[in-house]
Chains A and B, each alone.
Chain A
Amino acid sequence: MAVFKPHLPILEDIKTKGFLAALLFKTNEAVERLTAGLDIEDIRGVLRGDPAPRPNPRVKPHADGFWFHMRPTYYHNLVTGLYPSFRLGWLSTYFFVFEIITGLFLMIYYTPSPLVAYENMLNILSNVPFGRLMRDTHKLGAELMVIVVLLHMARTFLTGNYKKPRQFTWATGVVLLFVTLLLSFSGYLLPWDQLSLWAVTIGASMVEAMPPPAVGELVNLVVRGGPQFNAGGLLRWYLAHVLLLPLVGIVFLGVHYYKVVIHGHSLPPEAEPVGEDTAKRVPTDQRTYFMPDVITREVLYVALLTAVVVAWSIFSFHAPLEPHADPLITPLHTTAPWYFLFLQGMLKIGDKVVWGLIAPGILTGLLIALPYLEVGPSRRYGDRRVGLSVGLLAVAVMAILSFMGTPHYLVSSSPDQEIVAELLPQTQPGPLRESDWNEMTAGTWRAAEWEAAPTATLRNLLHLYQEEVEHAQDSTRCRRAGNCLTDPQGSMLIEDWQDDLKRITFRVIWDGGPDQVCAVGSQNEFCQVVYFHKNANYWQKP
């Protein structure tokens, strides 16, 4: 007589069906529960592209499962192809998830403290298997995500999807846009290198302008975590990057998706009668079921894109890592990240308050209010000439403003420094550091006599040097700034300094220059020294 009797129905099954059959049966049952309605045979049918059996088990996950209830059960035939959505919304989601996964990996090796953050980055690069790949894909994914989200916005604008009844979908989209931009931007600060520090400093100086001064100061303190960016500020931005923004993003992603299911995917504008929204009324003969058609497309896009991102990161894209952040050294030509260049451009136009706060504020307001501004009922391109023209105009203005944000526009640095910065940029390795160390023959080389230099590397460098010298003498740019140099001459002194280390002095003189070479405080002369090590391997990037 057993004291207690185990209740294991599988034992019964094994007794009646045999071991293997019982195991299969149980596995099948588990799969069906996990997918909320599809057993193994159903899944194989989906993957093979079999016609749906009747009754269709493939609609059950949409009704009973969590993940699929966020996706429509079927689409209109007209919206399953590339046009009109280009799958950009789906790809935005993909990048969001991709960033979370790669980001978690990086988080394991990262401490948000100015004392060790930079060292952590070095450790990730030099000591963590797959560390560089994770860092590169995370950075590349962030940039691509910004692009994809912007394109997604552009396409919902072009096809007029924000119109009634999808105004709220658009509004949540705007929140997601800001989350995306801020996520990308806050990530900038974390490596604690020069790039991060100065890009973020430029951004934060804008909020400082907020009137009245008391408010501006307060907001500035909140954003920087103190009068200076330091431990406090880094921790704040880190927490925003890994906690606050992803959280807001996930919540709004849920709302956004919910709205998309509720309203259905809009048909191409020309396929609907003007002013009507037929997305939810798909005739039975026009239906394409999510499973298997749409899901295989989506998975295909993801598989392809992952391969592209991974290949790109392995073979060509490497996230830059500049020297350690140093509040005392402002690198020449710091710029905001590209998607904020337009702000930097606006700041060059005029007042910080007007162009750094009020103008961006109005832009944001316009973006959210768009559905209530362009109220015409028709989504057809032909009926929206004004709206589309204004949209294209806005893109053009953004492009111009972004250009104005680059150092090419109105930066008042001296042309002599520009010459050297061209060969020896302060924010990336540049031509000199990427040249062949062994071909940097010791000696004094004059840029004007580049053809006579003994090695190809030197000839290249000196030629570039000479071109820049000539630009400083006469070019539209220096003429506009009124600071062209008279008779500038460039030379370069290469010394074998230590074992495997060369010391290279750039010397630009004009107006005859001083007698003494590179003495402190002399006139008509600019000197810059750089050390160059044989193993520095800049062409390999970080």
Chain B
Amino acid sequence: MTWRVIVGTISFVITMIMLGFVAVTEQDRMANFSVAYEARTVETGGALFESNCATCHGLDGAGVPAKGPALNTPELFNGARLTEANFAGTVDNFIRLTIAGGRPRMSEWARAQSFIDPMPTWGETYGGPMRNDQVDALTNYIMNWGLAYQGGAQPTAEPVVGVGTDITVELPPGDAASGEALATSQGCTACHVLSATGPAWLAASDPNDQGIGTRAALRLEQPDYQGAATTPEQYLFESIVAPNAYLVTDNPAYINAATGQSIMPATYGALLDPQMTSDLIAYLMTLK
């Protein structure tokens, strides 16, 4: 009987001591949880970015020509883009706002880079498919790129020296395998898989069963060809760096009705160095 009272009392005191322990450590615990949770949202954001944004912004955030701008870049975090967009808030807000609302009408800055489609709307609140916590996770993931640029650190990648638009320059020997990788990373495959958005490269998707490697030779012999190329390789070179030298008109969607120019960006001469260009050409030549 007495021992019951004693053991009961001791248990009660132990419970109180444990609660005291929680009370003392609770602030730290809550802080740790917040840090851990924030970190987990970055992970979630990475997965979401990979499945929803990488097609336009590149898996590594370096941007995809004609599709979407680079996000993994100092300009986004050092305020240059905010100034350009006349935005008074923080970078964090700028990113969150852009993701949630999208840019239904493309900005001047984006138009100048000839992106095809505007930035879509993602936030549920504005008719997109994503919940708020998903938009937050994406924001945290993109902001996490910014850490690398804090303290003035600059990206280590060397700037590309463009190949230019002169198709007679001598190119180094090309490697088809790396050309294939470039076709994806440079955004070519965004347009050239199905013939609806650009002439399809693979014979299987071409109405006449001709791969781009075969077509390159045939184009030169077409009566309406007005370009400067004399060999199939040069034709491909020209098509990449000067899309408007000769317009393929198989499909009206290839031509921007307002300007009469190709919808293919005319900027690749500046974006690709000679090696990259040669690799791409080598790859295209394999697609007979």
Within 8 Å CB of B38, what residues of A? 535
Bound Cα distance from A323 to B43, whole angstroms: 11
Bound Cα distance from A530 to B48, whole angstroms: 11
> What DSSP secondary structure best describes chain B's contact surface?
helix
The answer to the question of B112 belonging to the interface, with a C-beta cut-off of 8 Å to chain A, is: no
Question: Are A49 and B43 in contact (CB-based, < 8 A)?
Answer: no
Binds B, one of A199-207, A306-314, A341-349, A471-479: A306-314
Interface readout for A128-151 with B: 1 if CB under 8 Å, 0 if not?
A: 111111000000000000000000
Question: Are A499 and B144 in contact (CB-based, < 8 A)?
Answer: yes
Chain A residues packing against B (C-beta within 8 Å)? 47-49, 115, 118-119, 122, 125-133, 292-293, 296-297, 299-300, 303-304, 306-307, 310-311, 314, 323-324, 497-501, 503, 529-538, 540, 542
Within 8 Å CB of B29, what residues of A? 132
A307-B14 in contact given A49-B2, A542-B33 (Cβ < 8 Å): yes
Report 10 cross-chain contacts, Cβ distance below 8 Å, ordered by A residue.
A119-B133, A126-B37, A129-B27, A300-B5, A300-B11, A324-B133, A498-B141, A498-B144, A501-B43, A538-B36
Question: Are B34 and A126 in contact (CB-based, < 8 A)?
Answer: yes
A498-B19 in contact given A300-B4, A303-B8, A531-B43 (Cβ < 8 Å): no
Task: Select one of B5, B37, B147 contacting A498, CB under 8 A.
Answer: B147
Distance of A427 from chain B, by nearest CB (Å): 15
Within 8 Å CB of A533, what residues of B? 39-40, 42-43
A536-B12 in contact given A293-B1, A324-B133 (Cβ < 8 Å): no
Question: Are B23 and A130 in contact (CB-based, < 8 A)?
Answer: yes
The answer to the question of B22 belonging to the interface, with a C-beta cut-off of 8 Å to chain A, is: yes
Task: Select one of B5, B27, B133 contacting A296, CB under 8 A.
Answer: B5
Task: Select one of A47, A292, A314, A500 contacting B144, CB under 8 A.
Answer: A500
The answer to the question of B30 belonging to the interface, with a C-beta cut-off of 8 Å to chain A, is: yes
Chain B residues packing against A (C-beta within 8 Å)? 1-2, 4-5, 7-9, 11-12, 14-15, 18-19, 21-23, 26-27, 29-30, 32-40, 42-47, 50, 131-134, 141, 144-145, 147-148
Distance of B8 from chain A, by nearest CB (Å): 4
Distance of B122 from chain A, by nearest CB (Å): 14
Distance of A337 from chain B, by nearest CB (Å): 24
Question: Are A127 and B30 in contact (CB-based, < 8 A)?
Answer: yes
Question: Are B4 and A531 in contact (CB-based, < 8 A)?
Answer: no
- Identify the 7 closest CB pairs spanning chains A and B, nearest first: A531-B46, A49-B1, A535-B39, A533-B39, A537-B36, A499-B147, A303-B11
Question: Are A299 and B8 in contact (CB-based, < 8 A)?
Answer: yes
Question: Are B36 and A536 in contact (CB-based, < 8 A)?
Answer: yes
Question: Are B8 and A501 in contact (CB-based, < 8 A)?
Answer: no
Within 8 Å CB of A119, what residues of B? 133
For residue A129, which residue of chain B has the nearest CB? Answer: B26
Bound Cα distance from A297 to B7, whole angstroms: 10
A297-B43 in contact given A499-B147, A500-B144 (Cβ < 8 Å): no
Bound Cα distance from A118 to B32, whole angstroms: 19
Bound Cα distance from A126 to B29, whole angstroms: 8
Within 8 Å CB of B30, what residues of A? 125-129, 131
Distance of A463 from chain B, by nearest CB (Å): 24
Within 8 Å CB of B33, what residues of A? 125-126, 132, 540, 542
Question: Are A310 and B15 in contact (CB-based, < 8 A)?
Answer: yes
For residue A325, which residue of chain B has the nearest CB? Answer: B131
Bound Cα distance from A498 to B21, whole angstroms: 37
Bound Cα distance from A392 to B1, whole angstroms: 37
Question: Are B18 and A311 in contact (CB-based, < 8 A)?
Answer: yes
Distance of B157 from chain A, by nearest CB (Å): 15
Distance of A116 from chain B, by nearest CB (Å): 10
Question: Are A118 and B1 in contact (CB-based, < 8 A)?
Answer: no
Within 8 Å CB of A129, what residues of B? 23, 26-27, 30
Question: Are A501 and B36 in contact (CB-based, < 8 A)?
Answer: no
Distance of A395 from chain B, by nearest CB (Å): 32
Bound Cα distance from A335 to B15, whole angstroms: 34
For residue B6, which residue of chain A has the nearest CB? Answer: A300
Within 8 Å CB of A118, what residues of B? 133
Distance of B256 from chain A, by nearest CB (Å): 29
Question: Are A310 and B43 in contact (CB-based, < 8 A)?
Answer: no
A503-B22 in contact given A49-B2, A127-B30, A535-B36 (Cβ < 8 Å): no
Distance of A281 from chain B, by nearest CB (Å): 26
Most buried by A among B4, B26, B145: B4
Distance of B12 from chain A, by nearest CB (Å): 5
For residue B150, which residue of chain A has the nearest CB? Answer: A499
Question: Are B12 and A303 in contact (CB-based, < 8 A)?
Answer: yes
Within 8 Å CB of B5, what residues of A? 47, 49, 296, 300
Bound Cα distance from A303 to B34, whole angstroms: 33
A307-B11 in contact given A47-B5, A126-B37, A501-B42 (Cβ < 8 Å): yes
Task: Select one of B12, B27, B47 contacting A530, CB under 8 A.
Answer: B47
Distance of B188 from chain A, by nearest CB (Å): 16
Question: Are B1 and A296 in contact (CB-based, < 8 A)?
Answer: yes
Task: Select one of A48, A133, A292, A537 contacting B22, CB under 8 A.
Answer: A133
Within 8 Å CB of A131, what residues of B? 30
Within 8 Å CB of A48, what residues of B? 2
Bound Cα distance from A500 to B141, whole angstroms: 11
Task: Select one of A133, A311, A532 contacting B43, CB under 8 A.
Answer: A532
Within 8 Å CB of A130, what residues of B? 19, 22-23, 26
For residue B181, which residue of chain A has the nearest CB? Answer: A516
Question: Are A307 and B40 in contact (CB-based, < 8 A)?
Answer: no
Distance of B268 from chain A, by nearest CB (Å): 24
Question: Are A310 and B2 in contact (CB-based, < 8 A)?
Answer: no
Bound Cα distance from A534 to B145, whole angstroms: 14
Task: Select one of B12, B35, B147 contacting A535, CB under 8 A.
Answer: B35
